[in-house]
Chain A
Amino acid sequence: MGRLKTYLWRYWRRYLVGGICLLGTATLVMWIPWWIRDAVRIIENGGSLRDVRFYAAVIGAAALIQGVVRTFSRALIFNAGRDVEYDLRNDLFAHLQKLPLSFYHTQRTGDLMSRVINDISAVRVMLGPGILNFVNAPVYFVYAVVLMLSMDVRMTLAALVPFPLLIFAVAKFRGRILKSSLEVQQQMSALSSHVQENLSGMHVVKAYTQEAFQTRQFIALNEDFQAKSLELARMRGIITPVMQGFNALTVLIVLWYGGVRVIRGDLLVADIVAFVAYLNVLAWPTAAFGWMLSLVERGRAAMKRLEEILKTEPEIASPEKPLPVRGLKQGIEFRDVSFVYGRQNNGHPTLEGINFSLPVGRSVGLVGRIGSGKSTVAQLVPRLFDVSSGEILMDGQDIRKFSLRELRRTLGYVPQDPFLFSTSLRRNLAFGRDEVSDEELARAVGIAKLDRDLEIFPRGMDTIVGERGVTLSGGQKQRATLARALVMDPPVLILDDCLSSVDAQTEAEILQGLREILKEKTCLIISHRISAVKEADEILVLDEGKIIERGTHEELVNRGGVYADLYQQQQLSEELEQI
């Protein structure tokens, strides 16, 4: 909870002023019944109308001032809650950006999202309405009880008789409601898991005609959910009327007991009026008491879950004193690099003893079967993952000595899985830069052979892409991501099988265009197609995480090993395509 305190401190002025306004409101609220009593007393004793009107004026003025002060107290405290929410959300976002990809591999987007959304809102409620009522309730109680006692001790005690019972009942109910709402939540998530699973396995459901059975299962879960929800509704349904009932009961006690004493002559009607007014004032804080406690409880639990995310240290971070990056002078070198990915593969290394160098201005090709570890090699350079042993050097220095930002800005990494944001194509292509001229965009688009597609797009560069926009084909997306990297114009290009969905003809054209700019760039090309790496200065063949062959295209073909085999296979399938 230490973090929460720092947030609260940041807005202490708001809370302080809000708190003062709250006390001011409470004071005015509490004195109004007192003045009503004075006025009614005058009436009861047959005093002058002027005196009554004096009190009426005082009450009216107090009510108006109270209205203003109350507005400020609520607005200030609720706003402070929103401010903390804002900070918390920003900090969380900033922190999420620092966490490495391995974190996102273990978390599902949906889970993460619902945590961020629901938990932040629970914390905000705790810090807004929660704090407000937390301050209000005791203040009102102390105030009201002191004033009532000063009017009449016996009446006060009589009126307060139901309160301990009420608080006890509320406390008891609160626990049950909390438990019950947890159960409802669990049942809800069971229900949505079932739906999720049913939809993901729809082909099996249909193939085995399981629709009816799946629906029966859903109905059963749905009924459980309904039963749990009704239980919660029943308890929630009891608490409000009971609260109101209790309150009316205290009024009744005052009316009855007070009435008897008025008739006996040792109390004034004015006192009854004032007592009723005080009890009315107490009605809301009493009712809100249990609610407020549950807000605090929920808020604390939510904050704890948020802390879990915030406390996750980014495993991959910039060093404290990063070395400056001054372009690329010598090149990149893998020195005895091994990589073990989590606990997958039973601890078998994904990469083992990888050695190669990529001198500036040259290109290295990397081929191998699916699962041979070639993408991992690419991902290690921008430090999406860190090596398990060995080191990767840039200009003779371990890449971990540079700042992440500068390292990554040196590298143009084009991933296999194209991810575009749901915004215009233009903004997607310009993602890596703050300002891009149309000429630069056109050049990148030309090399990535996206120009022909642009003509078909309804709004050209301003076409909205991504999940909800025009659906681009897999090949179009891959070419867009390539163009995006080209726009950034980095000294190093890493192409991670980034043209796998592009047809062979277009790929050849793209490679032709790339060759022009590759002359001035350092390039690591990963592909399952020989045609993409053929012209590289050195080609590495990867198998089960090890380099098994290396050399130029001619050398490898002549050697008659795995590479030659792959080459032959691809020629065959090309032939097949032509038939």
Chain B
Amino acid sequence: MAEPSQQEEILGKAYDIRLIRRLWKFIVPYKRLFWMAMLLLPLQQAFGLAQPYLMKIGIDQYIAGRDLKGLQNVGLLFLGVVVGETVTLFFHYYFSMLVAQRCLADLRVAVFSHVQKLPMSYFDRNPVGRLVTRMTTDVDVLQEMFSSGVMTLISDFVMVFWIIGIMFYLHVELALVSLALIPPMAVAINFFRVRARRTYRQIRERIARINAYLAEAISGMGVIQLFAREEKSYREFDKLNSDHREAYHLSNLYEASLYSMVEAAGSVSVALLLWYGGGEVLHAVIGIGTLVAFKEYINRFFVPLRDFSQKYAVMQSAMSSAERIFQLLDTPVTIESPKNALIPKPFRGEVVFDNVWFHYKPDDPVLKGVSFRIEPGEKVAVVGATGAGKTTTIKLLNRFYDIQKGSIKVSGVDVREWDLQALRQHIGVVLQDVFLFSGDVRANLALGDRSVSMDRIEKAAQFANADRFIQWLPGTFDAQVRERGSNFSAGQRQLLSLARVLVFQPEILVMDEATSSVDTETELLIQDALDKVMKGRTCLVIAHRLSTIRNADRIIVLHHGEVREMGSHAELMERRGIYYRLYQLQYEREELKVATYDAAAKIHD
């Protein structure tokens, strides 16, 4: 189970100029803040590096020289430097986070709005979870890059040279003695650092395997239990888990060594300084303060070296996250308004399919030369067996997909020449599985269009017979809708979706009638609402209700992706062809129900 895939590979180069350049574009709007943060860094380092030096002067010159006034001055200077370091450090961090948060927020919005433009076929191929990860986890990894101080990598190295310079300025021989410690330390640190980096890599790979295995086991738990393979998969999991632990044990050892070495280096350097410098101090060539200052500088020298491998690992995962984000951003938008998009006026509302060929997968055509024409205000029902291409037909009308051959014209203009927004605004869609957004009822009816008045919403709800149940909801139109509308029944959701159409008043209505059974009373309400909604509109309906096909002006029979029959109910029944059989198969049974409804309706009236 759980082979690591190329797509989710977590490791790559730590530094990729192409990616950095693209990331930089997001920083550019905040580049003043960015440079301010960057400029504060050397300042902060200068304040930090001044402290040991001031200590040296305090001890060697004023304490040793018994100069109270001078000590006071150095003390004040020291205080100033401390305050300076605190303030610059804060602002450096805050400004970097400001830049990070702002440009990552921009990045998130860029990704989100790009995804909004992607064609439906993209969402058919890519699971929702993966796209959510791009916008959350992957962006988070980039934030980690900013907050863990990767941006300070360069300046850390600059500081190392500063320290060397200061040490030589203070005392050449002692500087050489101290630097004598550096080569063996550098070699040792490098030894562990390289190995630590290797284990980081292993750890990341192994934890990814564990998580992938776990995710798969959770979704396939039924199979594991049915085949009674719990022990086997436990053994497999244990193997992955212990591999991960092993890698960490090693990594812990390396890290502990690195940490301890750097800690020890400070004290060893003191020993060295005392050993070599003790004599000089005794002979009063240098002061004790110099020894103290040296010890401090050596401490500060090794810390950046120690932290390097961790920052390197962060950099690595940041680069691969950036890579994935940009990949998503580079996904071409294949369906968009053309340059000189048309918005035909006046809108007439006829629909023409002319020899339309369409496939989702090559070599597997769903529509094979479909042609029909719907006049403005005409009600057309589409019928056919499962897989005949009915749903595809309505998805093509508002250009969820582009066809491969032929043309689809709305109001005389090919949908590919239409302004996409305008086209879709003219077409109201009611799908089988009504999707409600979490929020309140009102927002679901107006769908975020704030210009829609409450009055219009209420009227629409009333007209669509949705007001009857809405008025019983707590808070009526402000009642909360849970994710996917799970707190509403199927019938209520359908009524809401019809009301939604009425709010927007599109000229064309495209509908895939729901097949789910609802109680008699709701069914009557839905039928009544449907009649009202369809009135005066060009309608293309995938019919599941007997009443719909009976009330339709024309019926199109789709069979294996072709229009095989067309005409009124009576005509088609007479022909005794596909429709006749379909009718027997799908609708005849309903007649009995309809009789009951009719009876019920009479009582109701």
Partner-B contacts on A (CB < 8 A) = 32, 36, 39-40, 43-44, 46-47, 49, 52-53, 55-57, 59-60, 62-64, 66-68, 70-75, 78-79, 82-83, 85-86, 89-90, 93-94, 96-99, 101, 104, 109-110, 112-113, 116-117, 188, 191-193, 195-211, 213-219, 222-223, 225-226, 229-230, 233-234, 236-238, 240-242, 244-245, 248-249, 251-252, 255-256, 258-260, 262-263, 269-270, 272-273, 276, 382, 384, 404-406, 408-409, 411, 413, 415, 419, 421-423, 427, 431-432, 434, 464, 466-469, 484, 488, 569, 572-573, 575-577, 579
Contacts and interface: CB of A to CB of B under 8 A. Distances in A.
B478 to A, nearest CB: 17
B504 to A, nearest CB: 7
B93 A78 contact: no
A147 B55 CA distance: 22
A263 B220 CA distance: 78
Given A97-B230, A195-B112, A217-B448, A206 B424 contact: yes
A89 B214 CA distance: 10
Interface residues of B, number: 134
Interface stretch (B21-29, B430-438, B591-599): B430-438
B55 A384 contact: no
B90 A237 contact: yes
A307 B123 CA distance: 37
What 4 pairs across the A-B complex have the smallest Cβ distances?
Answer: A60-B271, A67-B264, A63-B267, A213-B448
22 contacts: A39-B278, A56-B270, A73-B256, A79-B252, A82-B249, A86-B244, A93-B237, A94-B234, A97-B225, A97-B233, A199-B115, A204-B437, A218-B112, A233-B94, A242-B86, A272-B63, A273-B59, A273-B291, A405-B230, A408-B226, A409-B227, A409-B228
A202 to B, nearest CB: 5
A499 to B, nearest CB: 16
B83 A422 contact: no
B448 A413 contact: no
B427 A207 contact: yes
A35 B86 CA distance: 32
Nearest to A78: B252
Contact of A259 (B62, B123, B504): B62
Given A384-B222, A422-B1, A215 B109 contact: yes
**Secondary structure call for the B interface:** helix
A273 B75 CA distance: 16
B217 A96 contact: yes
Nearest to B424: A209
B94 A244 contact: no
Interface in B246-261: 248-249, 252-253, 255-257, 259-261
Contact of B224 (A64, A73, A97): A97
Given A90-B241, A193-B438, A203-B429, 5 more contacts: A63-B266, A237-B93, A258-B63, A569-B585, A579-B577
A422 B58 contact: no
Contacts of B328: none
B274 A82 contact: no
B543 interface: no
Interface stretch (B98-106, B469-477, B546-554): B98-106
A64 B264 contact: yes
Interface in B121-168: 123, 127-129, 131-132, 135-136, 147
A466 B217 CA distance: 13
Nearest to B140: A188
B2 A422 contact: yes
Contact of B218 (A78, A113, A200, A208): A113
A276 B438 contact: no
A494 B341 CA distance: 58
Interface in B58-76: 58-59, 62-64, 66-68, 71-72, 75
B10 interface: no
A85 B248 CA distance: 11
A486 to B, nearest CB: 12
B99 to A, nearest CB: 11
B435 to A, nearest CB: 4
Given A74-B252, A201-B435, A404-B228, A85 B116 contact: no
A33 B129 CA distance: 56
Interface string B258-281: 011101101110111011001101
Given A64-B264, A192-B135, A576 B385 contact: yes
B236 to A, nearest CB: 10
B216 A422 contact: yes
A60 B108 CA distance: 53
Given A71-B256, A230-B98, A43 B227 contact: no
B208 to A, nearest CB: 11
Contacts of A431: 223, 227, 229
B330 interface: no
A101 B97 CA distance: 45
Given A52-B278, A57-B275, A215-B109, A273 B292 contact: yes
A69 to B, nearest CB: 8
B267 A104 contact: no
B468 interface: no
Interface string B40-65: 00000000000100010011001110
B94 A63 contact: no
Contacts of B136: 188, 191-192, 195
Contacts of A86: 241-242, 244-245
A419 B222 contact: yes
A226 B105 contact: yes
A188 B237 CA distance: 30
A70 B260 contact: yes
Contacts of B129: 110
B374 interface: no
Given A74-B260, A222-B109, A273-B292, A384 B225 contact: yes
Contact of B97 (A237, A408, A464): A237
Contacts of B221: 96-97, 99, 101, 104
B584 interface: yes
B97 A233 contact: yes
Contacts of A244: 85-86, 89
B528 interface: no
A512 B50 CA distance: 89
Contacts of A222: 105, 108-109
Contacts of B86: 241-242, 244-245
Contacts of A104: 218, 221-222
A191 B582 CA distance: 47
B82 A245 contact: yes
A152 B581 CA distance: 105
A256 B71 contact: yes
A89 B449 CA distance: 48
Contacts of B581: 572, 575-576
B578 A93 contact: no
Nearest to B129: A110
Given A276-B292, A408-B227, A419-B220, A66 B248 contact: no
A219 B110 CA distance: 10
Nearest to A576: B581
Contacts of B281: 43
Contacts of A201: 435, 437
Contacts of A40: 288, 291
A215 B256 contact: no
Contact of B211 (A67, A117, A195): A117
B72 to A, nearest CB: 8
A567 B248 CA distance: 63
Interface string B417-455: 000110011010101000101100000000111000000
A202 B288 contact: no
Contact of B89 (A73, A230, A241): A241
A53 B281 CA distance: 12
A468 B135 contact: no
Contacts of B228: 404-406, 408-409
Contacts of A99: 221
